[in-house]
Amino acid sequence: MATSSPCVVISDEEQGYDLDLFCIPKHYASDLERVYIPHGLILDRTERLAREIMREMGGHHIVALCVLKGGYKFFADLLDYIKALNRNSDRSIPMTVDFIRLKSYCNDQSTGEIKVIGGDDLSTLTGKDIIDTGKTMKTLLQLLKQYNPKMVKVASLLVKRTPRSVGYRPDFVGFEVPDKFVVGYALDYNEYFRDLNHICVISETGKEKYKA
């Protein structure tokens, strides 16, 4: 079985950064504990993932499938970097884009029920924001098999270390993080915090304030 590419591992002891060191929307100031992964670091790591994907997928037509809603920022930035590589290197990848929505969370807990919405032409590369237990992605991969793709590769910005994991590991991973509920960079808590550039740890105040 192929192993996933190396990633940045954030230790359980990592505390992140003080909110006052970054530009945080005032309406979220009391709802967050710390900045966990700054926006600049996310972009730099995403650019590197684009290079790895180009190296491995070069020569294949890609259907880039975005898992909404949480994956849209990572997906858009990843594709921008791939397009830049297409323009500025001797090797390029023909690519089309599709979208699918998976919903499995209420508040900070997985409901165990996965709803799949959309997706017309599903084939090769999927981009997701975060792999938690892995159950959602395994469900999606089973769905993709119905379309008989030549190959399926999964890129995820985050993978959580959690005892609830089913053991699934994406092919391309940005960061491996502790089992904390994080928001920002399109990751939400009941639809809030998607407009936050950095990935942050939500506070108990924030959880209570935006509870469904």
Give the C-alpha separation, 116 to 121, whole Å.
Answer: 14
Average pLDDT of the residues of the chain: 84
pLDDT tens digits, one per residue of 7-36: 999 999 999 999 999 999 999 999 999 999
- Predicted local confidence at residue 8, as pLDDT: 94
Q: What angle do CA 98, 104, 110 make, to 5 degrees?
A: 145
Percentage of residues of the chain with pLDDT beyond 90: 47
Q: Closest Cα partner for 209 from 190, 183, 196? A: 190
pLDDT beyond 80 at 205: yes
Q: Which residue has the higher pLDDT, 158 or 114?
A: 158
β-sheet bridge partners, residue 160: 177
- Pick the catalytic residue: 132, 171, 179, 188? 132
Whether 80 is catalytic = no
pLDDT tens digits, one per residue of 64-103: 888 888 889 999 999 999 999 989 988 788 888 888 887 6
